[in-house]
Amino acid sequence: MDLPGVRAYSLGIINDAAEFALWLSPHILDSTVRVLMTVVGTPKEEADDYRDILVEMAEASGGDVLVPPRTIHDRPDHEDNLVLDLAAEVGALLIVSEDADLTSMSPWRGVPVLRAREFAGRVDAMRRHRRR
**Exposed, middle or buried by CB within 10 Å (0-12, 13-18, 19+), for 102?**
buried
Q: What percent of the chain has pLDDT over 70?
A: 86
Residue 4 has pLDDT above 60, yes or no: no
Q: Determine the Cα–Cα distance for residues 56 and 35; give it in Å rounded to an integer.
A: 20
Say if pTM beats, i.e. exceeds, 0.85.
Answer: no
Q: What is the pLDDT of residues 73-104, one digit of tens each?
A: 999 999 999 999 999 999 999 999 999 999 99
pLDDT value for 85: 97
> All domains of the chain, ordered by start, with CATH?
3-131 (3.40.50)
Q: Determine the Cα–Cα distance for residues 23 and 74; give it in Å rounded to an integer.
A: 20
pLDDT value for 92: 96
